[in-house]
Amino acid sequence: MTLRMTILIMSAFGVISDSILIAFYPQFFRERYGITSTVHVGAYIAAISIAVMCMLPVWARIARRIETMRLLVYTQFAAAIFCVFSAWAPTAWSYWLLTMIMFMTKASYLLMFPYLMRLEKPQNHSMVIGALSVVVHIGAIFGATIGGLGLQQYGPVFCIWLMAAGDFAQLGLCLYLLYSGKATPVLSRDEKATSLPLPKRSPQALSALLKLSLLMLLFDFSAYLVRPFFSVYWENTTGLTNQMLTGLIFAIPGIVALIALSVKRRYSPPPGLLDHTLGNLLIGALGLMLQATPSLWLIVLGRCLYGWALYQVTVKLEVTLFKVSSPEVYARDFGVTNFFQNLGVLLSSFGAGYLVSLIGIPASFVIAAIGMLLTAVIDRLSFGIDLHHLPSSKSGDLKNVA
């Protein structure tokens, strides 16, 4: 396997592990600890975001002194061990403690993305990010499906074992890259960057990075506001309580992402046609509004539109980061944008818990749709994502991933 393919597979295992319970935390805490508070569930998901957003910059700094893959061996081993320990957590608070430490160490696997981008040619960035996005969506489909099935058939502890298995799989792939000699060192290649200070950002670069980070925060807040309680909403609205089916409905955006990539490969549409930022944000807002209806088929349609927009805008935002950054500071700038993305998820998790307890789940879809529209307005007035993607070089396609 090539380095790129191995990192894609590692990413898949990481996403699968994270997705096993993400749609089912309300059911998980109810079945294992008897906790039914929506605020508690929202706070837990928010705490995950806090753990990641605080630790990723720390790991990025450490990665300036230790090669990324070597660092990941230790952190993924620690994450797997703490995940195993959490299977025996007797109380909700001990589970909180163990899993927060797990997510703090696990956050380091996000360093694989800037690491890979440093090794790729700029003209391949769009293709690689698109492939990574599809891997993330496939992982989310598989994780949500087996999570729903595992929770329904075998219970909460079985789901924790599945999460730990994903962490151990990542560890094994890290060791494979190291001992096969396929892990390309970047510190020595960059003339011992560990001993050199990173270049300072120009005012223009800093302004672009902060504006992009703000858009990512608002978009992620809007996109993930509906996530924590969607499974409960679906089951209550439709009366269908099969958790495997719920997992599949939750994973519809991932299926749509695969279709979006297939369309892009097959028809090679002109740049800006299918991935036009304003158009996709409007599609996303419409999809969120449709999910607020009590109709099963409109919810499914809304889920499809939401998934299309989520894929297109996410890829566009990620590619834009590497257009306003430079290779020697990819990890640093990725840490900044990831901080704001996790802040958006954090605010959405807290907000979802309180909104659901105060005004119900359907209102969260409406507020999320308004957030999408606000993202579009701010982009048009202050940044212009599409202006950073004017045709200058051709991107590859997924067949170059392997």
Max mean pLDDT range (58-67, 70-79, 386-395): 70-79
Residue 152 has pLDDT above 60, yes or no: yes
Q: State the alpha helices, DSSP H only, in 120-202.
A: 125-153, 156-179
Give the CA angle between residues 22, 25, 31 to the nearest 5°.
145
- Range 350-360 average pLDDT: 77
The token pair at 6 is 């191995």
* pLDDT at position 239: 85
How many CB atoms neighbour CB 199 within 10 A?
11
User: Global pTM?
Assistant: 0.69
pLDDT band at 200 (very low <50, low <70, confident <90, very high): low
* pLDDT at position 347: 82
- Range 134-163 average pLDDT: 84
Return d(Cα 329, Cα 241) in angstroms, integer. Answer: 48
- Range 304-309 average pLDDT: 91
* pLDDT at position 305: 94
Q: Are 167 and 76 in contact (CB under 8 A)?
A: yes
* pLDDT at position 364: 86
Q: What percent of the chain is predicted at pLDDT more than 70?
A: 87
pLDDT band at 110 (very low <50, low <70, confident <90, very high): confident
Q: Are 43 and 74 in contact (CB under 8 A)?
A: no
- Range 140-164 average pLDDT: 86
Strand, coil or helix: what is 207?
helix
Residue 307 has pLDDT above 50, yes or no: yes
Residue 395, amino acid: S
Q: State the alpha helices, DSSP H only, in 292-394.
A: 296-324, 330-359, 361-378
Return d(Cα 42, Cα 348) in angstroms, integer. Answer: 8
pLDDT band at 270 (very low <50, low <70, confident <90, very high): low
* pLDDT at position 388: 62
In the predicted model, what is the mean pLDDT of the chain?
81
Domain architecture of the chain: domains with CATH: 3-184+202-388 (1.20.1250.20)
* pLDDT at position 394: 39
Q: What is the pLDDT of residues 371-387, one digit of tens each?
A: 999 988 988 887 777 66
* pLDDT at position 390: 57
More confident site: 266 or 62: 62
- Range 326-330 average pLDDT: 69
Residue 338 has pLDDT above 80, yes or no: no
* pLDDT at position 193: 46
Residue 245 has pLDDT above 90, yes or no: no
pLDDT band at 108 (very low <50, low <70, confident <90, very high): confident
Give the CA angle between residues 213, 312, 208 to the nearest 5°.
25
* pLDDT at position 85: 94
In sequence order, the 6+-apart residues with CB closer than 8 A to the CB of 209 are 201, 321, 324, 325, 333, 336, 337
Max mean pLDDT range (77-81, 123-127, 393-397): 77-81
Residue 385 phi, psi dihedral angles, 5° rounding:
-55, -45
